[in-house]
Amino acid sequence: QIILKESSPTLVKPTQTLTLTCTVSGFSLTTSGAGVGWIRQPPGKALEWLALIYWNDGLRYTPSLKSRLTIAKDTSKNQVVLTMTNMDPEDTATYYCVHVAAVGSRRYFDSWGQGTLVTVSS
């Protein structure tokens, strides 16, 4: 059973850097075809895909936020970390960690963490 659990501060100040950690179990971050990504959802709004890291260290970022995002994995800790710089109140959202099943051109988010609400406010 794949389990993903997010951890992060609940409150960050504008201009600060946010660090989100996803601790995974039930699969290996080096298993061929495995990926872990981040998706966020502002209160009352739609899902927004942010970033993804694959088993082979392939990276993908959403174009609109690419300059502010860095995703990395620590296989020894079974963790994926996303950092987002220069936080703004508009970044207030629930951030979800997701497992991506990828086989060739087929890929989808088959497991989701419970989400962590991050509020940006001074």
Residues that bind another protein (CB under 8 A): 37, 39, 46-49, 52, 60-63, 96, 101, 105-115
Distance separating alpha carbons of residues 59 and 97, to the nearest angstrom: 15
The nearest distance, CB 13 to another protein, in angstroms, is: 26
Please, which residue, 5 or 19, has the CB nearer to another protein? 5
- Cβ distance 54 to 71 under 8 Å? no
Cα separation, 99 vs 121, in Å, equals 30
Six-digit token pair at 67?
């300059």
CB of 109 to another protein, least distance (A): 6
Smallest gap from residue 91 Cβ to another protein (A): 17
